[in-house]
């Protein structure tokens, strides 16, 4: 059996890979591991997105949690970041989200948060897996009044929306916003928050039917929102993913404003107000080099981590930074929440828009996005990590970096799952970097196939 947990919980096609049996086992083992130290009846929050498989998996997961004597608080359909926040707010011992984020509707996933609202470290996930592999033989089997039970928290969504609204002062009156809820977990929370903040709100893709989540809409399919923003002459468009832990924006001209640009806009705003910890933004190695150039010109520091929001968060916690995220729009405001939060990011961005009095296109223009070319080199699985040791490949990369003179870069990394080495080249001239990327791919394939 391969490792159950991927980079963001356990995911798979619902009822085929992520079965009710596995959900039950995850509920049992997760509840036991995350609440083992408690001296009271453990309390675990459970929420989900809008997928048709959510009810099936929720029933199984909750059964597993109750079977080891824990109490479940069911929150229904709610954004992932709401679970992270409410786990702390409600003094729960853990939180669980049933969601496969931006994946198509037939997939689903199960993701845990600890009592402090953080995703689990590998060591805790390994403990949960070990129990499942042993068929839960050593788990407690309470009977009678010690069996767990389920209750409902009817005002959970309202509590989360009030929290998000409270992260800014004043309101968003005067801003015309178009939002694409991806027929996902933000379909109630996002309109509610922005209406309450007095923005002029128009909404698309907020009628989930269990099978239309992320279907040609949301942050992975921006064309519909881009056209809609121009059609209704909105000041800004906001596109959430299925579980609303990330957001991308669209300016008044219908151009996409990605996570790097959102961090640049908000980072500069917070720095000018003197409230950006160490004047630093944490990004990943996949962030556009335009972010580095913008930072250098504006007295901002950019710290880089490996790809993945868990590494961004780790760096923020270790060094005391408060703003970080990814190009995909997964942005963490550590002063407010413990995970990426699409609605929180949206509200913060709109606050900058209102306070500055500028158009979003003007705010985004502080950062010039350099063209990026990404090509996969087909190699053997055994050799895909050997690129680091190959002198010819290293020499060619060095020559390319020298050629770009600080206005471009080369990034090579092996695929975690396929026999590929991903080659990304960034620079000012798209034709030149495309040609160079193809040359480098040919060399890598010749050396590592």
Q: Is 101 a catalytic residue?
A: yes
Claim to verify: residue 396 and residue 320 sit in the same structural domain: no
Q: Indicate the DSSP class of residue 118.
A: P
* Cα-based distances in Å from 191 to 160, 231, 302: 13, 19, 33
- Listed in order, strand segments (DSSP E) in 24-158 are 43-48, 71-77, 94-98, 107-114, 150-152
Among all chains, which residue has been given the structure tokens 């090509």?
Answer: 375
CA nearest to 194, candidates 213, 179, 210 = 179
Q: What is the CATH number of the domain that holds 128?
A: 3.40.120.10
Is there a domain that residue 165 lies in? Answer: no
Question: Considering its fold, how many domains does the chain have in total?
Answer: 3
Claim to verify: residue 217 and residue 125 sit in the same structural domain: no
Q: Is 202 annotated as a binding residue?
A: no
Claim to verify: residue 144 and residue 292 sit in the same structural domain: no
**Structural domain for 193, as ranges:** 170-365
Is there a domain that residue 65 lies in? Answer: yes
Task: Given the residues 53, 67, 101, 115, select the one marked as catalytic.
Answer: 101
Predicted local distance difference test score (pLDDT) of residue 302? 97
- The Cα 307–Cα 320 span in angstroms is 20
Of 338, 365, 392, the residue at which a domain comes to its end is 365
Radius of gyration of the chain (CA): 23
Q: Is 245 annotated as a binding residue?
A: yes
Claim to verify: residue 66 and residue 208 sit in the same structural domain: no
CA nearest to 338, candidates 357, 313, 319 = 313
- The Cα 40–Cα 48 span in angstroms is 26
CA nearest to 410, candidates 393, 426, 432 = 426
Q: Is 180 annotated as a binding residue?
A: no
Claim to verify: residue 313 and residue 230 sit in the same structural domain: yes
Claim to verify: residue 20 and residue 37 sit in the same structural domain: yes
Is there a domain that residue 202 lies in? Answer: yes
Conformational region of residue 241, where left means phi above 0, alpha means psi within -120 to 50, and beta covers everything else: beta
Of 125, 155, 185, the residue at which a domain comes to its end is 155
Predicted local distance difference test score (pLDDT) of residue 2? 59
* Residues of the chain falling short of pLDDT 50: 1
Of 316, 343, 365, the residue at which a domain comes to its end is 365
Residue 100 contacts residue 52 (beta carbons within 8 Å): no
Other Cβ atoms within 10 Å of 20 Cβ, number: 18
Q: Is 355 annotated as a binding residue?
A: no
Claim to verify: residue 136 and residue 179 sit in the same structural domain: no
Claim to verify: residue 195 and residue 151 sit in the same structural domain: no
């Amino acid at each position: 059996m391969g490792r159950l947990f991927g980079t963001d919980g356990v995911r798979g096609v619902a009822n085929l890979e992520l079965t009710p049996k596995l959900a039950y086992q995850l509920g049992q083992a997760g509840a036991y591991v995350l609440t083992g130290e408690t001296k009271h009846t453990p309390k675990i929050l459970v929420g989900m997105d809008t997928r048709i498989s959510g009810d099936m998996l929720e029933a199984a997961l909750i059964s597993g949690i109750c079977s080891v004597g824990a109490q479940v608080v069911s929150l229904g359909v709610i954004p992932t970041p709401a679970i992270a926040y409410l786990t702390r707010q409600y003094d729960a011992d853990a939180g669980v989200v049933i969601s496969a984020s931006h994946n198509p509707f037939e997939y689903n996933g199960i993701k845990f948060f600890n009592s402090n609202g953080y995703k689990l470290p590998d060591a805790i996930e390994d403990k949960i897996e070990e129990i499942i592999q042993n068929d839960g033989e050593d788990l407690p089997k309470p009977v009678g009044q010690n069996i767990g039970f389920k209750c409902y928290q009817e005002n959970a969504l309202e509590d989360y929306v009030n929290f998000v609204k409270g992260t800014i002062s004043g309101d968003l009156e005067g801003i015309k916003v178009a939002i694409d809820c991806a027929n996902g977990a933000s379909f109630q929370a996002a309109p509610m928050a922005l209406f309450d903040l007095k923005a002029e709100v128009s909404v698309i893709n907020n009628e989930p039917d269990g099978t239309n989540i992320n279907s040609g809409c949301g942050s992975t399919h921006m064309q519909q929102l881009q056209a809609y923003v121009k059609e209704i002459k909105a000041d800004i468009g906001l596109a959430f993913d299925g579980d609303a832990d990330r957001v991308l924006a669209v300016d008044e001209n219908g151009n996409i404003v990605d996570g790097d640009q959102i961090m640049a806009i908000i980072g500069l705003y917070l720095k000018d107000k003197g409230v950006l910890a160490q004047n630093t933004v944490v990004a990943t190695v996949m962030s556009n080099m335009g972010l580095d150039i913008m930072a250098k010109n504006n007295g901002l520091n950019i710290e880089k981590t490996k790809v993945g929001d868990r590494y961004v968060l780790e760096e923020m916690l270790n060094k005391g930074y408060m703003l970080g995220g990814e190009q995909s729009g997964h942005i963490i405001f550590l002063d407010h929440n413990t995970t990426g939060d699409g609605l929180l990011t949206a509200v913060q961005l709109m606050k900058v828009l209102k306070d500055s009095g500028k158009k979003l296109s003007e705010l985004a223009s502080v950062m010039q996005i350099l063209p990026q070319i990404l090509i996969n080199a087909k190699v053997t699985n055994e050799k895909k990590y050997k690129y680091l040791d190959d002198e010819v490949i290293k020499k060619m990369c060095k020559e390319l970096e020298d050629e770009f003179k600080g206005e471009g870069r080369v990034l090579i990394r092996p695929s975690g799952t396929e026999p590929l080495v991903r080659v990304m080249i960034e620079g000012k001239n798209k034709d030149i970097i495309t040609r160079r990327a193809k040359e480098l791919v040919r060399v890598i394939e010749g050396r590592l196939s």
